[in-house]
Amino acid sequence: MLPSQRISSRERRAFHWRTASPWTTCVRVACCSRLRFMWFALMVLTVLCVALQMLGVVRQARSSKVLKLVGEQLVQMPAEIHRPMKHKDWENLWSVSAVIVEEPVDQHPFIQKRENRGNREEEGTDQNNLSSSTKAAPPINVQKLQEVATNFPNQPQKPVFTKKPPRSDDSTDKPAVKSRADNSVTCQPKNHIVFLKTHKTASSTILNILYRYGDSHNLTFALPLNMHSQLFYPAFFATHFVEGVRTRSVKEFHILCNHMRFSSPEVRKLMPKDTFYFSILRNPVAMMESLFVYYKAIPAFRVFKNLEEFLIQDGRSYNASLPNNHYARNILTFDFGLDNTVPENDIEMEKHASKIIAAVERDFPLILISEYFDESLVLLKHALCWSLDDVSSFRLNSRSERSRRPLSPQTAERVKKWNSLDWRLYQHFNATFWKRIDSTIGRTELQKEVEFLRAKKKELESMCLQGGGAVDPAQVQDSSLKPFQYGAAVIQGYNLRVGLDNDTRQLCQRLITPELQYTSALYTKQFPQLAAARAAAAKKIAASRNIAAHRAVKRNIETNAHPAMANNTSHNNTNTADEHSLHVLANSIGHSVRQDNFDVHSVTKQYKEMKRNLHKHTTPKHFIKAHVHKQTQESALLR
């Protein structure tokens, strides 16, 4: 080719490239450049990836058809195929409707709890309709499932399904516990618990059970502020009543069980959403007799010699606005945080009682009955998924038999009328208590476990207790284990056997420790710095009070001694010696005060006795000798 032709050919190619469209230019550059092989490889990989994704979508669509068909068949499976009762079903056995007490179990709709702790919405389902609909469901066609499965070559001959075990309410590392009723049923022990401690219902024994369990498992209790024994009862419960809430020193509370007036919103602010709620009731007739003896000093009871006199006047002298008079009427309703005022109209009273029952059922999945205490402990054991050792206990804060008084049938009827709201509440939950047992444990299994529990209690009594039972407070040898005495009741205690090893003694001592002492010990364990600070402050206050009392007693003795001594001078000229003896006596009393042998009240009592004897012109020497002899006897008793 001539040079001129080559030049013209290059010019034409250059003009063609310049006039070509941009996308064709890019394609030509990519295909004709040195990197054209890399571009070809990337295109092939892209096509392969798209093809693989489409294949995966097709396979998934085929599998979903099989799973959908099998799922539809499983939904129609009858619900009554020997299904063991799950632990979650304990919370679904209370009815929302509470108008009729004696209605059968299958008429009670279930209550299902929502995940939101603040709201509990009642969603009921009629069990009759549920059972009839499940019985009419067609059985599973296994052959049809196999035929559908074989149409897909990549699927197995028989579809295999795996079901994850249900997640426990409590996040705990504790081993699962087998239920005695069904060895195939396992559950996780509950650690988040709220127990509403009601008055004079054997609730102190339940409290000891919770204390021992939480103490041995290092759980955190929601204890009252400032080392109190109650959560500022009778005020409605508030979260700031609990030690560690305002300071935020406690991140999580496990057990709330001290005396309080229940307030559901406040309690749910404090406790986790998986908390288990329960309480205990007692027959209002027997409970009223105990209340009258224990709270004899309240305004409603103090002017009456016995309970019969109080009930005969039919509440004409009762004033609900006076302090502590809430103990005298419908105390159970009051403890649950509800209105304990009885409407005058019978229809309104029944409506109010029905609302009270519904409110208690909504907030408390389990209600125990004091008259069936051993059966209640077995029911509690299953509900909390605890062991038999966890619920074994001794009776605490119990009166001696000599302080009990039986009531006549007429008085019992008056109690039912006076405490009509509590009576309706007790009637309802006494009936549902046995329905709960029949639907969960069964009477036969219940009787077996009650016998095991009683045998365990006898074993603990023979191992721990000196004498094998409770004794009056004057016979309790260890002063740190003496129960608190209040009112006219005689609260019994226990003596430990001597010679126990350390582990056994610790176990037995926890079983018999009264409520106030155990609460103080747990407070010291959870808040050691606060407990030490309070102990130091209390010691300083006690010391200042004792010094002031000593000075006041000494000053009063010296002031009142001179007139009596002046009267004795006409008979005996021993004024100086007697005055010196009185100074010695005052110093001895002050020494006793400093040694904490008795408090200010006892010192005041001694001073009044001295003043009375002086005014009777008793010879000071004789009085001093008698007083010193009395002091010696008291010191010997104290030692």
Shared-domain flag, residues 548 and 624:
yes
Shared-domain flag, residues 602 and 479:
no
* Residue that finishes a domain, picked among 526, 556, 576: 526
Shared-domain flag, residues 402 and 303:
yes
Contact by Cβ (8 Å): 315, 414:
no
The number of beta carbons lying within 10 Å of the beta carbon of residue 45 is: 9
**Is 452 among the domain residues?**
yes
Closest of 555, 556, 576 to residue 565, by C-alpha: 576
**Is 229 among the domain residues?**
yes
**Is 471 among the domain residues?**
yes
Shared-domain flag, residues 441 and 560:
no
Rounded Cα distance between 565 and 610, Å, is 13
Secondary structure of 128-141 as H, E, C letters? HHHHHHHHCCCCCC
To 10 degrees, what angle do helices 420-440 and 409-418 make?
90
> What is the structure's pLDDT at 5?
72
Shared-domain flag, residues 616 and 509:
no
Contact by Cβ (8 Å): 126, 104:
no
550 vs 347, more confident: 347
Instruction: Select the highest-mean-pLDDT range: 189-193, 489-493, 611-615, 626-630.
Output: 189-193
3 state SS of 240: helix
3 state SS of 114: coil
The number of beta carbons lying within 10 Å of the beta carbon of residue 449 is: 21
Shared-domain flag, residues 522 and 593:
no
> What is the structure's pLDDT at 40?
80
Q: Provide the β-strand partners of residue 399.
A: 491
The number of beta carbons lying within 10 Å of the beta carbon of residue 413 is: 13
CA angle 70, 84, 67 (to 5 degrees): 10
To 10 degrees, what angle do helices 620-638 and 528-568 make?
160
Task: Count the domains in the chain.
Answer: 2
pLDDT tens, position by position, 413-453:
999 999 999 999 999 999 999 999 999 999 999 999 999 99
State the CATH number of the domain containing residue 348. Answer: 3.40.50
Q: In what order do the strands lie in the sheet with 255-256?
A: 255-256, 193-196, 276-281, 366-369
314 DSSP assignment? T
Shared-domain flag, residues 440 and 537:
no
DSSP per-residue letters across 432-460: HHHHHHHHHT-HHHHHHHHHHHHHHHHHH
> What is the structure's pLDDT at 567?
55
Shared-domain flag, residues 385 and 458:
yes
> What is the structure's pLDDT at 475?
94
In the predicted structure, residue 207 carries a pLDDT above the cut 50: yes
Contact by Cβ (8 Å): 483, 491:
yes
**Is 42 among the domain residues?**
no
Q: How confident is the model at residue 549 (pLDDT cuts 50, 70, 90)?
A: confident
The number of beta carbons lying within 10 Å of the beta carbon of residue 23 is: 8
Shared-domain flag, residues 429 and 497:
yes
Using CA atoms, how far residue 433 sits from 373, 430, 447, in Å, is 12, 5, 15
Rounded Cα distance between 153 and 524, Å, is 70
512 vs 63, more confident: 512
> What is the structure's pLDDT at 104?
36
Burial of residue 127, with CB atoms counted within 10 A of its CB: 0-12 exposed, 13-18 middle, 19 or more buried: middle
As a whole number, the mean pLDDT across the chain is: 77
Shared-domain flag, residues 333 and 361:
yes
> What is the structure's pLDDT at 483?
93
**Helices and strands (H, E) in the chain, number of each type:** 22, 6
Q: Which domain holds residue 591?
A: 531-638
Shared-domain flag, residues 391 and 502:
yes
Least confident of 360-374, 377-391, 401-415, 582-596: 582-596
* Residue that finishes a domain, picked among 526, 560, 592: 526
Preceding omega of 514 cis (within 30 degrees of 0):
no
Rounded Cα distance between 521 and 342, Å, is 40
Closest of 125, 129, 128, 135 to residue 80, by C-alpha: 135
In this structure, the strands spanning 177-178 and 186-187 are antiparallel
> What is the structure's pLDDT at 176?
57
| Torsion on CA atoms 183, 184, 189, 192, rounded to nearest 10 | -130
* Residue that finishes a domain, picked among 472, 496, 526: 526
283 vs 12, more confident: 283
**Is 630 among the domain residues?**
yes
In the predicted structure, residue 146 carries a pLDDT above the cut 60: no
**Is 8 among the domain residues?**
no
Contact by Cβ (8 Å): 59, 154:
yes
Report, as an integer, the average pLDDT of 491-509.
94
Least confident of 269-278, 473-482, 615-624: 615-624
Report, as an integer, the average pLDDT of 302-327.
91
Contact by Cβ (8 Å): 491, 473:
yes
Shared-domain flag, residues 462 and 561:
no
Report, as an integer, the average pLDDT of 494-519.
95
Tell me what percent of the residues of the chain surpass a pLDDT of 70.
64
Report, as an integer, the average pLDDT of 159-166.
38
**Is 102 among the domain residues?**
no
Rounded Cα distance between 69 and 65, Å, is 6
Rounded Cα distance between 436 and 449, Å, is 16
**Is 374 among the domain residues?**
yes
Rg (CA), the chain: 40
Q: How confident is the model at residue 617 (pLDDT cuts 50, 70, 90)?
A: very low
